[in-house]
Amino acid sequence: MHAFNIESDVWLQGIYVGEIKSLCEQVEIAARGLNDSIENRQTRQIFFYLRSIVSSCATISQFFWPIRINNVTKRRSEKLRELFSIDDHSMLKDRQFRHHLIHVDERVDQWSTESSNRIMIRQNIGPRNAFGVNSTSAGDLLEHYVLDEHIFIFRGDEFLVQTIVSDVQKIHAKANEIVYHSFESRSLSN
């Protein structure tokens, strides 16, 4: 058994960086799929790609801000935030939106007891006021995508798709830089 030493173990750092890099690529692929689906007006695919983006972002987030904190996860997350120059103001830190999608069953339970209108709107695309103020509340919008603002709304909470994808692209660029410098330093040492 080996001691966990992410602070000086470049090989171990590379494993984590590689996983994060792969997840960033998944977000970018989903973002391209989202754009294509929007262009072709494919509603089901739009929500498929929105959920894919949120899911991959949630997994990236767990590398930097783990759910279960212990000595290993604390050291790992601190080192990775340092390597990637990520601070606690990153949108990836917010767990609320990923919890909506992971616990959708509980959100539907909540809606069933809270909704005065008993109207549930799923997989809708349109402006914020598409349903009017009197006919529905924000909690009745289970999934709504505001196309011109690139905002995914789930029961009133907003996920800024374009902003988060841009943040992930920066993380991906940093991962590529880390991999390049790691490869370059190994090449020079041989």
**Overall average pLDDT of the 66-93 stretch:** 93
Locus of tokens 């690139």: 150
Q: What pLDDT score was predicted for residue 128?
A: 80
154 lies in a domain? yes
71-84 and 161-189 helices cross at what angle (nearest 10)?
90
pLDDT exceeds cutoff 60 at 176? yes
Query: In the chain, how many domains are there?
Result: 1
4 lies in a domain? no
Question: Whole domain around residue 100: which residue ranges?
Answer: 10-189
pLDDT greater at residue 188 or residue 22: 22
Q: What pLDDT score was predicted for residue 189?
A: 54
18 lies in a domain? yes
174 lies in a domain? yes
* Residue-averaged pLDDT of the chain: 88
Instruction: Give the pTM.
Output: 0.86
CB contact at 8 A, 92 and 61: yes
2 lies in a domain? no
- If you average pLDDT over each of 1-10, 54-63, 87-96, 175-184, which comes out highest? 54-63
3 lies in a domain? no
Give the angle subtended at the CA of 154 by the CAs of 136 and 137, to the nearest 5°: 15
Strand order in the sheet with 144-146: 124-125, 144-146, 151-154, 157-160
Q: What pLDDT score was predicted for residue 48?
A: 96
29 lies in a domain? yes
83 lies in a domain? yes
